[in-house]
């Protein structure tokens, strides 16, 4: 069996994209999914995403972590699949698509994709960190020397000890300016630091506003893989009109032999 695939990246967060509208990909084969994502013996990716047909929306996004297990929403993956859908001719410049956390609207212009995220109604604030769900669960913690943090060691400890079996993504943050923050993220499922995390920078932007680290509703986020922007509105206790914007590009394509 030959499986055509496309490698994408969104600010260094990389994914294997597969057109599964004909339902030919063996998506219950966890071993195969993990093998394709393996950086030594496979294509190499933080996750694998299937584009499938949907009865009412333009398409469905089915996301798997690098460990082969289906996971919660991925913001950069969502931006990459919008680019992929445009490449396939499924959409033009605007789309509504279904993901695991509901319907998302997005727009694409050249290689820049703006993705509407789901509303956030609750942020848990503690002395040292915040916790919120932006489609995936996120721990947000400000640190003094971000470049010196051992993200893998500290992130893995927090992910496993503080959040139990389900785990959470761990974001470490430093403030650069009133509208700009630098972020490093440990992602569950990947079980490593990634160069960028879309739901993570979204969580950081909302947490920084909630804790009065910024008065602005448009925040720039610098990751090791590039720059992203998050804008939003807040009405009473709910964050609405949350938009994650940034680049998404196709890197290469190929055939996987099964």
The pLDDT mean for the chain works out to: 97
* CATH number of domain containing 93: 3.10.310.10
**Residues 149 and 63 both lie in one domain:** no
What pLDDT does 165 receive? 87
What's the pLDDT tens digit per position in 31-70? 999 999 999 999 999 999 999 999 999 999 999 999 999 9
From the candidates 37, 74, 130, 229, give the one annotated as an active-site residue: 74
Residues 25 and 112 in one domain: yes
pLDDT value of residue 132: 98
Question: Model confidence at 170, in pLDDT bands (50, 70, 90)?
Answer: very high
Residue 233 tokens read as: 């509105």
CB 65 within 8 A of CB 22: no
Q: What is the pLDDT of residues 179-201, one digit of tens each?
A: 999 999 999 999 999 999 999 99
Q: For residue 17, what are the domain limits?
A: 2-116+247-257
Judge contact between 238 and 119, C-beta under 8 A.
Answer: yes
3-state helix, strand and coil shares in percent for the chain, rounded to the nearest 5: 20, 45, 35
From the list 37, 80, 130, 197, the catalytic residue is 197
Query: Could you tell me if 6 and 77 lie in one domain?
Result: yes
CB atoms under 10 Å from CB of 47, counted, come to 26
Task: Look up 229 and say whether it is catalytic.
Answer: no
Contacts of 149 (CB under 8 A, 6+ apart): 143, 172, 184
Task: Mark whether 76 and 180 lie in a shared domain.
Answer: no
Q: Are residues 242 and 127 in the same domain?
A: yes
- The predicted model scores a pTM of 0.96
């Amino acid at each position: 069996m030959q499986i055509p695939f496309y490698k994408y990246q969104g600010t260094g967060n990389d994914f294997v994209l597969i057109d599964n509208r004909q339902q030919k990909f063996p998506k219950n084969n966890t071993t195969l999914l993990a093998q394709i994502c393996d950086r030594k013996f496979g294509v190499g990716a933080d996750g694998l995403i299937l584009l499938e047909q949907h009865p009412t929306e333009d398409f469905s996004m089915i996301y798997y972590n690098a460990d082969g297990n289906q996971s919660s929403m991925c913001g950069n993956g969502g931006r990459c699949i919008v680019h992929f859908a445009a490449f396939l001719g499924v959409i033009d410049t605007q789309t509504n698509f279904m993901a695991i956390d509901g319907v998302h609207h997005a727009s694409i212009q050249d290689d820049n994709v703006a993705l509407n995220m789901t509303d956030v109604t609750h942020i848990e604030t503690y002395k040292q960190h915040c916790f919120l769900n932006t489609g995936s669960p996120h721990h947000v913690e400000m640190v003094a020397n971000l470049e010196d943090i051992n993200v893998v060691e500290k992130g893995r400890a927090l992910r496993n000890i503080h959040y139990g079996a389900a785990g959470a993504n761990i974001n470490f943050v430093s403030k650069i300016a009133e509208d700009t923050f630098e972020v490093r993220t440990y992602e569950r499922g990947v079980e490593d630091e990634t160069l960028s995390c879309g739901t993570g920078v979204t969580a950081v932007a909302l947490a920084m506003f909630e804790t009065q680290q910024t008065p602005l509703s448009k925040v720039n986020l610098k990751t090791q893989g590039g720059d992203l922007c998050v804008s939003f509105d807040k009405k009473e206790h709910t964050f609405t009109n949350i938009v994650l914007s940034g680049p998404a590009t196709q890197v290469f394509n190929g055939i996987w032999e099964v």
